Chains A and B, each alone.
Chain A
């Protein structure tokens, strides 16, 4: 037999374009291979990971490799759309861009001159928040935020308030040096490839991984040890670990004394208006007792040795160190493993054993990294002491109403072990570390026809920083930064539609959304939100008068807009992944990146950011027009290059113009900047100097390097806030101190939940939904191969995740006599759904779960009406209300974390009953017309020359 001849050397394409992926929020570098087809048109042939890129180093996930099918999705919008049928119907006519932009300008122009707050502008999984917020600030509305409030603000806020950074974009485990890795509440995302790459490296070194999650899939499947915890009890488990470590003295006293506010003195006098606040000197610097002199001293004074056991009586007031409060609280028997074990669903011996493993890794496996460094007190250390134990956590702990304090508890654990910024521990990524005090405060000062008085979002330090009007009512439509959730650092997007519908705190005119599927998987109580969006007043007018939406695809939300501005796909657009925004840095390197149009759109669509630049000029917004009123920027690419946020600091840090030619970090704009990025593979990266790579908040080599590169303007070493003064200031107000006072009905809750030291309390829904009637916890998680709703339009990915049964644990499965193919009715206090079920043994015994956002509304995403996503797919969202059920006190409490307002998706309690198999899942949300028709029956994706 002769061997057939094979082409062993096919070229993947005619050329490679290197840009940034957008199949999820991970922002990996990709090599897009482009090939000319028979007509000579360049087409996308193959996408793979960019080997040089700091985020993914060449690898790529299932979504990334399937990006070609997203780029070619039949659900892509083709032109601006003007609604012709009722809202929700999906009936539109295509219009030109001139008409569309004129419609927006005619509406928003007069609104800006009279009541700019009547524009509510909220963006979803947008990666240009520093730009979209800049636009909203120039417009003058206080009503701007992105999706952080319903995503993971608890994690971000707890980290920043405690230690000046959090997980994911803020920091990462020291993969190369850690000896034990513990991961809490992380589904297979956030972040995606870096965690998989890290786990692979740990596995290769034989480092133990402990997974804490009610569900054992993905990362928890490969964990060497799985802790199938009861949802909402992670904080209690962590505080018990802290109890065990303290009791054994397995904490890093030297680290706590030097780098945290553990030695700082707390006012102990209950009658003092400063009770519970930290003692400071006349310059506002925190005071510690110096072990060398026995006298109080400023924490950062040269040569001071802060005393963890310090006490001071001054002006008739007693002061004790924060550390003594920590010891007193967590040594309490209430946190003993035998007490908390049953609530957490974890055997007490197991809690003791894990505490012993943490201590063993941190202290017995410690080593010295041979790098000298100098701290902010001027003391030089001959080496860097390792604490090789690391943690990662995500939405599983943060999407609870106790998530802020749970995340705080986890950071307390990390810090007690001395592992944050130590070799082998957890490391910040530039521009972090950055303490809460170095961030802006929120602003809400509205003047018609003028910009807002400052950035919308930020970090409050106490009641004075809340966004309240003079009469005490909320200044923002989402009621962020109010007494109900004072530290809502990312805003509260999940409250916007219901508040706008209720006209509470005030009615709005225009709801302007970008890339946020608020009529579907991004809202609680989806069916009711659809009603709110379509509700009319007594005149037959819509209660929310005007809805503008920008999306690239025919999503559910498109059908509810009056005007749709079609966005491009991620391969057709400019974007910058900026240090001003949500950067892509690594612990050892500062980096940013771009997207650029590697192919031209074949539809009448425009990148949303370029549309905003255009609208900014048409509306005459400051920052978008020159002195003569002409447009300042041609498009978003022009803005990326030429906008300066501070002198010399722009959206992109690479290849700026310095005094002696091209430079990085600070410099004037460079007309060739985008070409330089493209030539370098779509990103810029510079390494942190070796002696600056650890102990960054206190390491002067890092602080000075960060100033040089433009991350901040002045070295700002700081102490980790184990005791959080902003929290205490709200408690003080609730106790009656100060001129800004909370409403009486919130006093008790503020006193309980805004504790300056981490606490645990049961998820708030437990106090509203009867745990006996609703004994089961219900969760969602996102599959690794699918990102939110975007994936279902992807012909390849929907073959991997086209179905989402509700997974039931063995005991529940057997109790109800379920068989394969059965259906269940799942009921919460708020609603019910009827859904297909499947059995999963590797699951907490009181928990059920499903994949998030597989279910689709009929007519959306160019899918057939009988697609499994539309027929049997479902959303858990129908069971979750943004308000908790009434409990007889005449009030409706928000289903959010009382500190940050984070949506408490995972507090949900349900009951499960077996029902006869229906023809489809319920509720049935009807069908929407499709402005793009249906996808083709057959796909054979090959570019043929």
Chain B
């Protein structure tokens, strides 16, 4: 079994705005593109052009419908990847020490050379955020693009996770959630950012901003006042209005 650090120096993570996410999957393929080419084994696709294609993705979008008591049903797009939990059960369950949480920034990673592909971590993760690579048989998960965020081969502005860099709507934010003054912490404070499934007591680092209220139709708001009834009355108003121009 593997130990978690008592604390981490920083808590790097994502803040995902569900009010803004249009469910376009841009983050999904940007992630796949970067991470198949970089950290560890490529993200494989089995039966790629067949009946049941099954590939490893580190980030997926799920779409849900919400039916309020009154008013129209709503659609919520929900991107989901590893939440880099402080109390990450996927780490403590790992029999080989392959899964670990970094002390310096809190990122949860899999050391693929030590991973035996037993799948216990995927079973332990309450969010379903880990995926076994169908070709290599090693466990894959979001690395928070650890090989981008410090990467001196990239321009400084590109040192963010691939999903954040690509998000067209700007619904994904990256930063240090341990620093109350960081942009992401400020955003979480302003918008009431939430933990996903807090009852699991995993203390996720990633936060979600919930959709603002929809379809709030103010039935008491004043309608437009009529200038006059009928075309003739309207033309009378028009003459007066034109005089004032």
Contact B37 A943 (CB under 8 A): yes
Q: Which of B118-126, B167-175, B176-184, B196-204 contacts A (4 or more CB under 8 A)?
A: B167-175
Q: Which residue of B lies closest to A863 (CB)?
A: B49
Encoded as 1 (CB less than 8 Å from any B CB) or 0, chain A from 343 to 360 comes to 000000110110110010
Q: B127 contacts the other chain (Cβ, under 8 Å)?
A: no
Contact A10 B147 (CB under 8 A): yes
Q: A247 contacts the other chain (Cβ, under 8 Å)?
A: yes
Give residues 26-80 of B contacting A (CB, 8 Å).
26, 28-30, 32-34, 36-39, 41-51, 53-55, 57, 63, 65, 67, 72-77
Complex Cα spacing A11 to B38, Å: 9
Q: Which of A94-102, A197-205, A710-718 contacts B (4 or more CB under 8 A)?
A: A197-205
Q: B238 contacts the other chain (Cβ, under 8 Å)?
A: yes
Give residues 539-586 of A contacting B (CB, 8 Å).
none
Contact B48 A937 (CB under 8 A): yes
Complex Cα spacing A868 to B50, Å: 8
Residue from B42, B47, B169, B219 with most neighbouring chain A CB atoms (10 Å): B169
Residues of chain B with a CB closer than 8 A to A784's CB: 22-26
Contact B230 A253 (CB under 8 A): no
Q: B17 contacts the other chain (Cβ, under 8 Å)?
A: yes
Contact A308 B20 (CB under 8 A): no
Complex Cα spacing A938 to B56, Å: 12
Q: A115 contacts the other chain (Cβ, under 8 Å)?
A: no
Residues of chain B with a CB closer than 8 A to A200's CB: 20, 167-171
Residues of chain A with a CB closer than 8 A to B113's CB: 4
Contact B17 A785 (CB under 8 A): no
Total residues of chain B contacting the partner, CB 8 A: 97
Complex Cα spacing A1 to B217, Å: 58
Residues of chain B with a CB closer than 8 A to A328's CB: 231
A775 to chain B, nearest CB (A): 21
Complex Cα spacing A355 to B217, Å: 13
Contact B231 A61 (CB under 8 A): no
Contact B22 A221 (CB under 8 A): yes
Complex Cα spacing A250 to B237, Å: 12
Residues of chain B with a CB closer than 8 A to A197's CB: 168-170
Q: B6 contacts the other chain (Cβ, under 8 Å)?
A: no
A327-B238 contact given A59-B166, A862-B49, A940-B45, CB 8 Å threshold: yes
Q: Which of A47-55, A267-275, A476-484 contacts B (4 or more CB under 8 A)?
A: A47-55
Q: Which of A62-70, A411-419, A420-428, A635-643 contacts B (4 or more CB under 8 A)?
A: A62-70
Residues of chain B with a CB closer than 8 A to A516's CB: none
Q: A939 contacts the other chain (Cβ, under 8 Å)?
A: yes
Q: Which residue of B lies closest to A75 (CB)?
A: B49
Residues of chain B with a CB closer than 8 A to A323's CB: 238
A-B contact count (CB 8 A): 304
Q: Which of B8-16, B82-90, B220-228 contacts A (4 or more CB under 8 A)?
A: B220-228
Residues of chain A with a CB closer than 8 A to B170's CB: 197, 200-201, 203-204
Q: A79 contacts the other chain (Cβ, under 8 Å)?
A: no
Contact B20 A199 (CB under 8 A): yes
Contact B219 A327 (CB under 8 A): no
Give residues 324-369 of A contacting B (CB, 8 Å).
324, 327-328, 331, 349-350, 352-353, 355-356, 359
Contact B49 A74 (CB under 8 A): yes
Contact B226 A248 (CB under 8 A): yes
Contact B55 A799 (CB under 8 A): yes
Encoded as 1 (CB less than 8 Å from any B CB) or 0, chain A from 767 to 781 comes to 000000000000000
Encoded as 1 (CB less than 8 Å from any A CB) or 0, chain B from 102 to 130 comes to 11000001010110000000000000000
Total residues of chain A contacting the partner, CB 8 A: 108
Complex Cα spacing A286 to B97, Å: 83
Complex Cα spacing A244 to B227, Å: 11
A331-B234 contact given A7-B147, A10-B151, A201-B170, CB 8 Å threshold: yes
Contact B21 A796 (CB under 8 A): no
B108 to chain A, nearest CB (A): 13
B113 to chain A, nearest CB (A): 8
Contact A65 B26 (CB under 8 A): yes
Contact B39 A785 (CB under 8 A): no
Contact A352 B51 (CB under 8 A): no
Q: Which residue of B lies closest to A936 (CB)?
A: B48
Q: Which residue of B lies closest to A840 (CB)?
A: B65
Q: A919 contacts the other chain (Cβ, under 8 Å)?
A: no
Complex Cα spacing A60 to B234, Å: 50
Contact B242 A291 (CB under 8 A): yes
Q: B19 contacts the other chain (Cβ, under 8 Å)?
A: yes
Contact A226 B72 (CB under 8 A): yes
Contact B45 A939 (CB under 8 A): yes
A781 to chain B, nearest CB (A): 13
Encoded as 1 (CB less than 8 Å from any A CB) or 0, chain B from 207 to 218 comes to 000011011111
B146 to chain A, nearest CB (A): 6
Contact A48 B23 (CB under 8 A): no
Complex Cα spacing A297 to B32, Å: 65
Complex Cα spacing A331 to B227, Å: 12
Complex Cα spacing A197 to B169, Å: 5
Contact B235 A218 (CB under 8 A): no
Complex Cα spacing A245 to B171, Å: 35
Residues of chain A with a CB closer than 8 A to B211's CB: 222
Residues of chain B with a CB closer than 8 A to A864's CB: 49-51
A320 to chain B, nearest CB (A): 11
Complex Cα spacing A850 to B154, Å: 41
Residue from B33, B47, B223, B237 with most neighbouring chain A CB atoms (10 Å): B33
Q: A46 contacts the other chain (Cβ, under 8 Å)?
A: yes
Contact B224 A196 (CB under 8 A): no
Q: A866 contacts the other chain (Cβ, under 8 Å)?
A: yes
Q: A600 contacts the other chain (Cβ, under 8 Å)?
A: no
Interface residues in chain A, defined as those with a beta carbon under 8 Å from any beta carbon in chain B? 1, 3-4, 6-12, 45-49, 51, 56, 58-66, 68, 74, 188, 192-193, 196-197, 199-201, 203-204, 216-226, 228, 244-250, 253-254, 257, 291, 307-309, 323-324, 327-328, 331, 349-350, 352-353, 355-356, 359, 784-785, 793, 795-800, 802, 810, 840-843, 862-864, 866-868, 871, 934-943
Top 9 nearest A-B pairs by Cβ distance?
A: A935-B49, A248-B224, A841-B73, A196-B168, A942-B42, A200-B170, A784-B24, A200-B169, A62-B25
